[in-house]
Chains A and B, each alone.
Chain A
Amino acid sequence: MMAALKAFWNSPVGPKTTHFWGPVANWGFVIANELKSSSIGGAAMCVYSALFMRFAWMVKPRNYLLLACHASNESVQLYQLSRWAKAQG
């Protein structure tokens, strides 16, 4: 357990690097957007997260944390979009 934590701490994509804090900051940005009824539409956030999921996959080093962040945001935005679409009838 300690070995795993130590490995994570020292990892090239760990909390000592910006490869970790970039995605974390992105999370904060997405959450802050959710709290406020955003001026950036749900459809735009869908496109945004889809693009950045692909970006996170293709970048070196491959950034799974960023991928996870945008995958969850994408799910949330698609759900909201589906609710909106349903309401439209």
Chain B
Amino acid sequence: MVGHSTHPPWSSFARGLVVSRGSRKRLEKQPTGPKTIHFWAPTFKWGISIANVADFAKPPEKISYPQQVAVSCTGLIWSRYSTVITPKNWNLFSVNVAMAGTGIYQLARKIRHDYFSEVEVEEVPSRRMKKGSN
């Protein structure tokens, strides 16, 4: 099968990072190496995942349900997708696993805040009254 390697998937990626004699030939042979779009597309997607991680510091009120559901679904579906395309793309797989992880974590934070925290926090009018009475 074109692009199918008999080596473990991470070894071809790691080899691409090592500069050595004859490395150019090896780089050219790598189906998901740094000379291909199959490398740079997932690598850039890591940036998006990291932006989601930066959002961990955001208060749960600011988290958006539709966005995090979309992030989680995208991550899960694409994790599967990256294993059925040619060439199999473990870089893409890992970034989407991470994306799904961040999305699910954010969802958990927001759900915990909205449905499992104390009653006073949820009732905005009473909070306003409390503020007014101070």
Contact = CB atoms under 8 A, between A and B. Distances in A.
Contacts, number: 77
Q: Does more than half of chain A's interface fall in helix, strand or loop, or is it mixed? A: helix
Interface residues of B, number: 29
Contacts of B55: 39
Interface stretch (A2-10, A44-52, A71-79, A80-88): A44-52
A31 interface: yes
Interface string A23-59: 0011011011101100110001001100110110011
Interface in B65-81: 66-67, 69-71, 73-74, 77-78, 80-81
Contact of A55 (B41, B51, B54): B41
A44 B86 CA distance: 26
Interface residues of A, number: 27
Contacts of A61: 85-86
A61 B87 CA distance: 10
A18 interface: yes
A48 B74 contact: no
